[in-house]
Structure 1
Amino acid sequence: MPIKRLLIVDDHPLFREGLKAILRRDPSFEVAGEAGSYAEGLRVAKACRPDLAVLDISLPDRSGIQLARELRQMLPEVAILMVSMHAKVDYVAEALKAGALGYLTKDAATVSLLSGLRSVAAGLPYLDPTLSVEISRALLLTRTPRREEESHSAYDSLTPREREVMRLVVEGLSNKEVAGALEISLKTAEHHRGNLMRKLGLQNSVELVRYATKMGLID
C-alpha cells in the first residue's frame, strides 16, 4: 500500500503523541499534520491535504463531526476515522452521516487504530469492535437513502444543527453559550432551540434532558 498521509485532530497533546507512537509501527502511514481544534484542523488540512484524517468529536471550538463535514467538502477523497471517548449510538450515527468511514472509541484505539486506518484507507467501513453486531448493522444502514426515507421519528426529523444545539442544551449551556460554541448568533441559536423543542413536542429543558436520556443520548 502506498504511504498514506494523515492528519490528527485532537485537543489533548498527550493523546496525539500516543496515536503517533502507534502509527510509527506501520511505515504505510505518515503523520503530515496535527491540530488541537476545529479551526486549526481546517488550516492544517488545507496546507497538507491528507489522505486520511483521525478526528476527535469533542473539540474546544466546534464539533469534530462538523469538521468531518467540512473536510469531506474540501477534500472529497479524504478517508475519515473518528476516534472519540463517546460510545453512544447517536454520536456514531452522526459521524457516519457526516462522512466518516470509521469510528473507534479512545479505549479501543491502542488496539484497533491501525486496523481501522487500513480499512478506511481501502475504502471500507470500520466500526469499533466493542460495538454490538446489531448496533453496527443499524449504524451502517443509516448511510443508505432507504433508511433515511423509512425513518419518521421526531428525533430523525431534527437537522444536524438542531441536534448539535440539543446536545449542548442538555449539557446545561444557555442559549448565549450555545451561540458561542457553534459560532452562530444568539437569535439563530434561539431559533434552532425553538424548532427542535417544537419537533420533539417538549416544553422545557427538563423535558429535553429526560428525552435525551430515554433516547440513550446521555447517561
Structure 2
Amino acid sequence: MIPLVRYQFTTMLLSQRYLAPVLLFVGLVTVLTSSDNGPLTATYGAAAGAMLLCSTWLTIAQAGLEDHAHRAVVVVNAGGSRRVLLGTVCTAVLWCLLLTTLGLGIPFLTGTHPLTPADLLLGTEAQLTCAFTGIAVGLVCSRLVFRRQGYALLLALVLLLALLVAKGLSPVNTLLSRLVTTPRPADLLVSTGGLLVVAAGLLAAGAALTEVVSSRRS
C-alpha cells in the first residue's frame, strides 16, 4: 500500500492539480483568521470549514488523475480496484494531514491567541472531521462515479451545502455550531471525537459506494 500511496502522491505533485485547492485553503484560513485575537475554538472552526471544501476538491482531483486505460494498468499492478481506491483514500488523507498542519499554524501568524494542548487537539479533530466528510463527498462526485463532471460538480455543491446547513443531521453542521458557541476547547474534545468517528463512517460508506459503482462501470 505504501508504494501505491507514494505513486499516487507523486503523480498528484507532478500534475500540479493540488495547487488550486491548497492555495484556496491557505487563502481562506488566512482571510478568515486575520487579526483574530479571540478563542481558538471559533478560529479552528473557520479552518475546518475551509477544509471541507478543499478536501472535496483535492479528492476529486486525486481520483480523476488517470484516464480509463491508465487506471486499468494501475489496477492490474496493484492487485485490484479496491486496493487502488484505498490508495486514493489514503493519499487524500495524507494531503489533508498536511493541510491540517497549516490550519493549526496559520492563525498564530495572522493573530494572537493563547495556546493549550487542548486547542491543538480540538483543532486537529475538527479539521479531520471535515476532511473525512469532504473526502467522502469527493469520492462520490469523482470521475469514478460520474462520467459527466458537470453533474458531479452540481452534486458536490448540493452535498456540501446540505452538510453545512442540515442541523442535527450533519457532523459538519453540528461541529461548526459547537465551535462557534463554546469557547472552552476542553469542553468539546469528547463530543468532537464522536463526530470524527461519524465522519470516518461517512468516509467508509462513500468509499464503498464508489467501489460498487466504479466496479460495475468497468
TM-score by length of 2: 0.28
Higher strand share: 1
Higher helix share: 2
TM-score by length of 1: 0.28
